[in-house]
Chains A and B, each alone.
Chain A
């Protein structure tokens, strides 16, 4: 149980375009999902907390107009990187909050490369 999927696993896009990443909880309903970014050899960095049916809460320094988050259902959250630039190239990982003690289950991640 507690499986989270992410799609796509890898994407290459041109500078200035937008990319949408989907995160799905496959076998449980997740009222809360999280989006992280991780650069090589660095720690996870929480970007935003997404609650179903409400606006996402962004961490300090994360541009909400650039990283659009939508959590329209209990099993799906999406992250759209708008007007992507090479510095947005990173490993983006979503997680879903579990139902027992607030544990987080991670998706496999999306590696974004902006050329």
Chain B
């Protein structure tokens, strides 16, 4: 079992729709959770972090965390073609000594 699981996609949504990206993790002691965006040919960029159960909103992005279900999600409202990228979920283990990336979900936003 992988430490962090993501559906590889591609996830296709029309422009203006809500894109929902999901991630599960196996280490119940995980403390910190992150979403990165990676455009083709570029390095990953940190876009959201969340540390406690519930929702965290930042502009069009909302991260959701459910530690009981070991589940993290990222919602992108009013999706734009410029949001088309691969989104990586990352989890920091207990004491921050292990950092695991999912394999990423490719998002396509169609104009």
Is A93 an interface position by the 8 A CB rule?
yes
Using C-beta atoms within 8 Å of the partner chain, give the interface range for chain A.
10 to 19
Is B80 an interface position by the 8 A CB rule?
no
Name the one of A34, A104, A109 contacting B46, with C-beta atoms under 8 angstroms. A104
Compute how far the CA of A6 lies from the CA of B103 in the bound complex, rounded to whole angstroms.
Answer: 23
Main DSSP-derived SS at the A contact region: loop
**With contact pairs A43-B103, A44-B88 given, residues A103 and B43 touching in the complex (Cβ less than 8 Å):** no
Name the one of A43, A91, A101, A106 contacting B96, with C-beta atoms under 8 angstroms. A101
**With contact pairs A43-B103, A44-B101, A101-B51 given, residues A106 and B43 touching in the complex (Cβ less than 8 Å):** yes
Chain B nearest CB: distance from A79 CB in Å?
14
Whether B46 pairs with A101 at a CB distance below 8 angstroms is no
Whether A106 pairs with B44 at a CB distance below 8 angstroms is yes
Contacts of A108 in B (CB 8 A): 42-43
Chain A nearest CB: distance from B77 CB in Å?
23
The residue in B31, B43, B90, B92 that gathers the most chain A C-beta atoms within 10 A of its C-beta is: B43
Whether B46 pairs with A43 at a CB distance below 8 angstroms is no
Compute how far the CA of A101 lies from the CA of B95 in the bound complex, rounded to whole angstroms.
Answer: 9
Contacts of B44 in A (CB 8 A): 44, 93, 106
Is B34 an interface position by the 8 A CB rule?
yes
Name the one of A2, A43, A91, A101 contacting B104, with C-beta atoms under 8 angstroms. A43
Q: Chain B 59-90 against A: per-residue CB contact (8 Å), 1 yes, 0 no?
A: 00000000000000000000000000000101
Pairs A–B under 8 Å by Cβ, sample size 8: A93-B44, A97-B96, A101-B49, A101-B92, A101-B96, A104-B99, A106-B44, A106-B45
Extra A-B contacts (6), CB below 8 Å, given A34-B99, A101-B51: A43-B104, A44-B101, A93-B43, A101-B49, A106-B46, A107-B43
